[in-house]
Structure formats: C-alpha cells, structure tokens
Chains A and B, each alone.
Chain A
Amino acid sequence: MSFEPKNSAVKWVEHRLPIIGMLHHALYEYPTPKNLSYWWTFGSLAGVMLVVQIVTGVVLAMHYTPHVSMAFDSVEHIMRDVNYGWLLRYMHANGASMFFIVVYLHIFRGLYYGSYKAPRELLWWLGLVIFLLMMATAFMGYVLPWGQMSFWGATVITNLFSAIPVVGEHIVTWLWGGFSVGNPTLNRFFSLHYLLPFIIAGVVILHIWSLHTNGSNNPTGLDVKDKQDTIPFHPYYTVKDLFGLAIFLIFFSVFLFYAPNYLGHPDNYTPANPLVTPAHIVPEWYFLPFYAILRAVPDKLGGVTLMFGAIAVLFALPWLDKSRIRSARFRPVYKMIFWIFVLDCVALTYLGSKPPEGMYIYYGRIATAYYFIHMLILLPLVGLLETPKPLPASISEDVLSKKPVAQEAGNA
C-alpha cells in the first residue's frame, strides 16, 4: 500500500522531496495493532497539547514584557485589555496542567502495558527526555507572570543547585545572572521558555520515528505476527483519536471556563516581592510528587539526589523489570504492585502540598521509600518470581475470543 500520487503537482514535489509520502506513511498507512484501547489516545492528546501551548504561547509573547517591573502588569494587561487575552492566558496556564495530566496518564499506560521493554527502550527514553524538558519548560513558564509564587518558587528551585559540593554556590549565581533571582533571571527564563517547546517538538518527532520503527505496543503486549493483527492508522485510529480528543477538550473546557484558577495558587496574583516570603511555598501540582521526595530527607544534597534519582530509575526501568511478558494483563502480581505504586504516587502528590512538619515528614519518607522499593526491589523480584497467565497465540486470536457476537454477525 505504498504512496503513489496521481496529482501531477504532488508528483512533482514528491520526486524532489518525498515528504508527502512520508506523512502518508506515518499518518495513513501506519499498520497499527487493531486492539488498541482508549489508553492509547493520550499520546496524540499530548501532541495536541504541545501545539496548543506553542500557539497560545507565541500569541501571549506578543503582549508580554519580560522585565521585573513590567511582567506582572503586562499579564494583567493581557487579561483585561487584549481581545480574548483572558482566554489565551487561561488556555496556556490550564493547558500546562492538561499537558501534564495527559502525559502522566500516557506514562502510566506505558508502565501498565510494559511499553518500555525491548525493542522500545529508546522510545521510552525519548519520552522521558520529553518529560524532563516539559518540567523545565513549565517551571520557567510559571516564573514569567512574576507573582509571589513565581519569584519564590524560582528562588527555592534554583537554590537546590547550591547543594552541589564546592561549585554549587557558583552555579546558582550563574543561573541567576546575579546574586538573587532578578531581572537577568526573568529574561533568560523567558528566552528558554520560548525555546524549549520547539526542542520538545523535535524530540517528539524522534519519539514517533522510534515508535513507527517497531510499531505500537498493545493491551496484550504481544508482538504483531501478521497482517491479521493490524489495521491502517487512518481511518480507524484517526477517528478514534478524534473522539478521544473531543471528550478531552470538554474536560479541559470545564477547567478553562469554569474554574480557571483552581489549579493555580492565589499568591501568584500578588506581584513578586523579594522582601515578603509567602507562608507556604508550594510548586504547581504536577511537581508535587517530586517536591515530596525532595523534602523526604533532612539533607539538601540527599534530597536533590533522591529527586533526580526518582527520574533516573525510570530510565533504568527496561532493565529493572526482569519479566519478558509486557502487559500487566498476564502478570497478576505485577498488576497488584502497579496499582499500589499508583496510590503511592497519589500519596506523594498529596504530601508534597503539605508543610514539612509533624507526621507529614514520616509519611513523606515512607512514600518516598516505597517509590524506590517498587522500582529497585519489587520490580526485579516480581519479574523473576511471578508465574504469568497463559498468553493468547496472537493479537487477533485475543480479539476474536472476546467478541463472540461480533464474530457471528460480522461479515468479511
């Protein structure tokens, strides 16, 4: 089913730059397992959110002023005076949260179905690189409105680098471009916040390239055996993804139009003031699990190491998980520890939002310890010891065994 253009203009271009054929191959023919569930929609939703962030962001940048004495005012100018400025800004601010929701679900989908295992290790790594770049982008974006949380969040997070022995303090000064978070910091954060999404877009292309090299995983975790197992991406998954997109946009709209500040912090509507420290400095919700891990140990360097370690273990995941079976559907014990791990991540999110005092400190330590126990001990052990359920012979056999009625009524 290769691409053979009829239109002479298309032929002319194709002969010189076979880009239409490439897109046709990627978005049309791409042979996709026929049993993908809606959990496979979140990848394309993440792609949509990246576009939403870039489009709204570029327009916001036309009205925004990256200067400590004007940034806050320029954002309020957007909210009050620019036509539909409130819509743009709320889309961008809530869009970041939506982007993280979608990507977190996308990652947990990968964990559940073992999508990180051979031959998709590089694909998984590229996904994690995207995730890291997203965190950097979102962090610097949150600094731009120059409210109290912008300023103090930036101060706390950049200060983490001072934990590095010997050169730490120098690195922090270098990051700030001065002796505290100030105008040079704001300017470079704006520059980088504008740049990184385009780098993310580049890594997304690699991510999808890698995906298409071995094809999508699927709920059975089985490899595709023959043509029986796959269907072309278009129209089957294009329309399925479009339906998923419409539902997701409704969810997005509820926040955007009816609770646009719910996911934000009120302190960020007070202009930054280096002389007044807010009562609680909390990062955006999507950083809370990592914030909880950071604060789990009393030592700064230890906390920072653990926090980066929490992401580093994700890179090692393909080798930590010793099971050759991908999908949790056939791994009863893994399925159980997967859900406990999900609960642990929810608990870390909650604890990250709490002041580090009293029992919260101990709960934070337990939840952090469990995160690493899951990754470094349970995952390898379960992989070695667990008895998996019998696997179906192929994807299409699995699909048929589930649809006796459709089979009867079905026609070729």
Chain B
Amino acid sequence: MLKLITSLSIAALVSLTVLGSAQASEGAIELKSGNFKHGGLFGTYDRAAAQRGLQVYREVCAGCHGLKRVAFRTLMDLGFSEDEVKAIAASYEFTDGPDKDGEMFQRPGKPFDKFPSPFANENAARASNGGALPPDLSLIAKARHDGDDYIYSVLTGFEDAPAGFEVPEGKHYNAYFPGHNIAMPPPLSDDSVEYSDGTKATLDQEAHDVSVFLTWAAEPKMEQRKQTGLKVILFLLVLAGIFYAVKRKVWSDIH
C-alpha cells in the first residue's frame, strides 16, 4: 500500500509538473499578481472590492464590453440587497414584447434580466473599435490562463513601447497582452471613477477591483464549490478510515 501511494504520488507530481510546464510556456510573459483574496483552499471573493469592481465595469468597461451571461439577481451574491439589485436593473432599458397589439415596447430592467451588451451585433462593435472586437467579459477570467492576474496585468500594463518596437495605428502597447499590440485604448487611470465607500480610486485599485468582479462573474459558484469540497473531503477521509479499519479486521485471518 505504502509503495503504491509513494509511486502514485511521484507519478502525479511528475505529470502535474509536465502538464504545468506545458501550459506555462504557452503564455510566456510572466504576469503580475493582483494579491487576490479568492485564491487558495478557503479564499472567498472580497465583497467590497467586487462591489467597487461592478462600479468600474458599469462606468468604464460597459461602454465597449458586454456581460451578457450575468443576471442582475446574482449580484446579491456580492452582498447587494434586493432593493439595490432592483435599482441597478432598473437603470437599464430593455426592449420587450410584442404586447397584445403586436408592438415592441421599452421597459426598465428586472432582476431576472442580464446585463445588456453595448453593441447590437459584432459588426457594430468592430465598427466602433477600429475593426477589433471587445469580447464579452462574462467568462474572460476563465478564458485566459490565470485570468484574474491576467486582467489585472493587462489593465495596469499599458506602457511606452520599448525603442524600436512598432505599434501600428489604432493599437496600444501593453506589456502583458500576447504580441503587445492591443486594440483597447488604456481604459483606466487614476480617478476614472469616484468610489462611494471612500476608497482611493488609483489605477491599481480600480484594476484590482474590476478583476475581482470579473472573476466572480466567470465563476459565481466558487465559494459554494470550495465549501462543498471541504465537507465532501472530510466525509471521505472518515469513510476511508472506517473502510481501512474494516479491511484490516476482515483480512486479519488471511495468511
């Protein structure tokens, strides 16, 4: 048994390193760490940061990026009250219908609605962004390696291009975007928003906060997942102990 466990752990370590290094080398640029509280076995989303991140998204990013998979009602996970959620939803207009006369009509958003996208379709989005498509951000944190650190790094990674590096018309130099030429103009700077909770809105703070918010948007069940996992694993440990004891007992007469 001991031998099996040792050989399996060695095999597991080797293969994880192999797989890990295989993945790592793909995005060769080393990312900055956003020092997030949602990492690790027990990490949870920083509610205050996520709420501020929502503000950054709504006031800055939403001009170009949709968030079409996130329903307003789920914002209650971030500590918003039902009334606050209703107010946030109602600040958007939705086209609904047809009514009984066959007409489409405008109505304020409801908690069951999802964030509306800024452009009617992909072509409209490209036309407004010099041909580039601002991706929907609902899943961006899972659609990139180390998504939370990646978003944080890109948002804080706009710099002057090194001497000799060619940045084409309509592109911007970014230290962390693959290829470095990104079509997104630097969206954030100090005081891009005014935080209602008194937090100082530095570029770094805004980038951190919106990264927390987008990580939640991509993986809203993370906390439930980790909590369930803890219970399941504790249960399995006890179960394994019991089975082991029974096994010892049953096998004690075999020689």
Contacts and interface: CB of A to CB of B under 8 A. Distances in A.
B154 to A, nearest CB: 14
A322 B240 CA distance: 41
7 contacts: A76-B138, A79-B221, A242-B243, A243-B244, A257-B230, A349-B18, A353-B23
B255 A406 contact: yes
Interface in A246-265: 246-247, 249-250, 253-254, 256-258, 260-261, 263
Contacts, number: 109
Contacts of B139: 76, 269-270
A177 B4 CA distance: 47
B69 A246 contact: no
Contact of B229 (A231, A256, A285, A353): A256
Nearest to B140: A269
A261 B226 CA distance: 14
Contact of A239 (B14, B74, B236, B250): B250
Contact of A87 (B4, B8, B74, B228): B228
Interface in B14-36: 14-15, 18-19, 21-23, 25-26
B232 A80 contact: no
Contacts of B144: 266
Interface string B191-234: 00000000000000000000000000010110011101110110
Given A239-B246, A266-B143, A267-B143, A80 B74 contact: yes
A80 B220 contact: yes
Given A38-B1, A86-B221, A403-B255, A246 B147 contact: no
Please report whether the interface of chain B is mostly helix, strand, loop or mixed according to DSSP.
Answer: helix
A165 interface: no
B124 interface: no
A400 interface: yes
B253 interface: yes
B37 interface: no
A213 interface: no
B232 A350 contact: no
B26 A280 contact: yes
A266 B251 contact: no
Given A76-B139, A350-B22, 19 more contacts: A34-B254, A37-B4, A38-B4, A76-B69, A76-B138, A86-B224, A236-B250, A239-B251, A243-B243, A247-B240, A249-B236, A253-B229, A257-B226, A257-B230, A270-B135, A280-B26, A346-B18, A349-B18, A350-B21
A246 B254 contact: no
Contacts of A374: none
Given A239-B247, A400-B255, A250 B236 contact: yes
Interface string A41-77: 0000000000000000000000000000000010010
Contact of B225 (A39, A87, A243, A247): A87
B141 to A, nearest CB: 9
A240 interface: yes
A247 B240 CA distance: 6
Interface of B: 1, 4, 8, 14-15, 18-19, 21-23, 25-26, 41, 69, 71, 74, 135, 138-139, 142-145, 147, 178, 218, 220-221, 224-226, 228-230, 232-233, 236-237, 239-240, 243-244, 246-247, 250-251, 253-255
B44 to A, nearest CB: 14
Interface string A300-329: 000000000000000000000000000000
A410 interface: yes
Given A86-B221, A266-B145, A231 B254 contact: yes
B251 to A, nearest CB: 6
A80 B77 CA distance: 12
A86 B218 CA distance: 12
A182 B19 CA distance: 31
Nearest to A238: B250
B126 to A, nearest CB: 12
B7 to A, nearest CB: 10
A257 B225 contact: yes
A235 interface: yes
Contacts of B8: 105
Of A87, A243, A250, A407, chain B has the most CB atoms within 10 Å of the CB of A243
Contact of A246 (B143, B218, B221, B239): B239
B229 A349 contact: no
A285 B240 contact: no
Interface string A396-412: 00011001001100110
A25 interface: no
- Most-contacted residue by chain B among A79, A246, A280 (CB, 10 A): A246
A403 B19 CA distance: 40
A240 to B, nearest CB: 6
A350 B142 CA distance: 23
B69 A80 contact: yes
Contact of A261 (B18, B135, B142, B246): B142
A163 to B, nearest CB: 26
Contacts of B226: 257-258
A354 interface: yes
A407 B254 CA distance: 10
Contact of A258 (B229, B239, B251): B229
Contacts of A240: 247, 251
A278 B76 CA distance: 36
A279 B138 CA distance: 22
Contacts of A73: 69
A387 B45 CA distance: 63
